[in-house]
Every structure is written in structure tokens, then in C-alpha cells.
Amino acid sequence: MTIKRPLWAETSDLMRDYYDTKWGLPEHDDRELFKMLTLELFQSGLSWSTIWKREKAFNKAFANFDAAKVAQFNQQDFERLMADSSIIRNRRKIMATINNAKVIQELLSNGETLNNYVWSFVNFKPQRLVLDGKRLSSQTSESKKMARKMKKDGFQFVGPVTVYSFMTAIGMVNAREE
């Protein structure tokens, strides 16, 4: 079976593999969701390939995206991350990641998983988006609603564009070519 890919997924072997094995496929593991949310916020203003090339470095830098561990990061950890040239060294994005890990821990302490939190925005079912050759929108009314709620709940660096990119990356919105 031949996979029909969008142009961005044909730019390199790395991007083809990402599209074929990860992008747009429903993800429900809390650690993977935290990872993808983090990588999407780091991607803001950059290309996805810039971020995905550094995936292993981000995994190492952020304790394999164990939110409980990242939530405990202190000033020394922050300085270590700011000095780590293998990741994107953006002060606001690093601080947002640590903050978001703390928000996830708060969700867990209230009996909610990150999976249930994010998937509730689409009633726990992927939403099918038919592109018909059109470009994927940068945001939707759903991503605006989700971003507002996430910000209200304490998440940072979660504007509607970043949230929509996250939603499509984790399969909440199925925009895969058929």
C-alpha cells in the first residue's frame, strides 16, 4: 500500500518516518502527550523538522518527558537546559515546559489524566478533517476554545495555533491524506 503524504512529509526520510508512524495517529499515553505538547510549543516560530531532528536531545533534556520529574526541575536544571546546545534554548519555552509539567501534576492530583483532559475537547473521538487538496488551517474554533481553557487552567505557551498543531499531531484531528 502506498502512503499518500503531504509535501512537508516528503522533505526527508526523517519527516516521512514521522508522518508514517506518528503524525495524526491517535495518542493516549500521558507521557507522549506531554512530549508532543512540549515539542509543539518549542516548534512555535520554527519548522517542525528543526524540532524533530532534536527529539532525542529533548527526551534526554526533559527526563524522557516524565512530567513528575520535570515538575521538580529547579534553577540548576533551568540553567542546565539554557546551556544545552542540543535543544532550543528559549527561556520562555523552557519555563513553560516546567510550568506545564506542574499543571499536569495538579491534574493528576485531582484525579484527571492529561489524556482525559485533552481528548475531552473532542468528546474522546478523532475529528475527521477533509482537506481536498487545501492547506491545513493554522487554528480552528476548537483550538481557540482548547487554548483558552488550557490557559485558564495554568498551561503556558498554548495559543490556538500551537494547540491546533498539537491536536493534529496527536490525532485528535485526523488530517491525514487518504
Nearest-5° angle of CA 58, CA 8, CA 84? 20
Contacts of 168 (CB under 8 A, 6+ apart): 23, 24, 129, 136, 175
Euclidean distance between CA atoms 38 and 125, whole angstroms:
22
pLDDT value, residue 141: 83
CA 80 to chain centre: 22
- Please tell me which residue in 18, 19, 52, 164 is annotated as part of the active site: 18
Concerning whether 55 is annotated as a catalytic residue, the answer is: no
pLDDT value, residue 136: 66
- The answer to whether residues 67 and 115 touch, using CB atoms and an 8 Å cutoff, is no
Euclidean distance between CA atoms 145 and 150, whole angstroms:
9
Label residue 64 left, alpha or beta by phi (over 0 means left) and psi (-120 to 50 means alpha): left
* CATH assignment, 7-174: 1.10.340.30
Euclidean distance between CA atoms 147 and 161, whole angstroms:
9
pLDDT value, residue 78: 98
Concerning whether 18 is annotated as a catalytic residue, the answer is: yes
What's this model's pTM, rounded to 2 decimal places?
0.94
- The answer to whether residues 79 and 94 touch, using CB atoms and an 8 Å cutoff, is no
- Please tell me which residue in 19, 48, 117, 164 is annotated as part of the active site: 48
How does pLDDT run along the chain (178 residues), one tens digit per residue?
678 888 889 999 999 999 999 999 999 999 999 999 999 999 999 999 999 999 999 999 999 999 999 999 999 999 999 999 999 999 999 999 999 999 999 999 999 999 999 999 999 999 877 555 566 677 888 999 999 999 999 999 999 999 999 999 999 998 776 6
Which among 30, 33, 87 has a CA at the least distance from the CA of 62? 87
- Residue ranges in the chain assigned as alpha helix (H): 13-21, 30-43, 48-52, 55-61, 67-71, 75-83, 91-109, 114-119, 141-152, 160-169
- Please tell me which residue in 19, 23, 40, 52 is annotated as part of the active site: 40
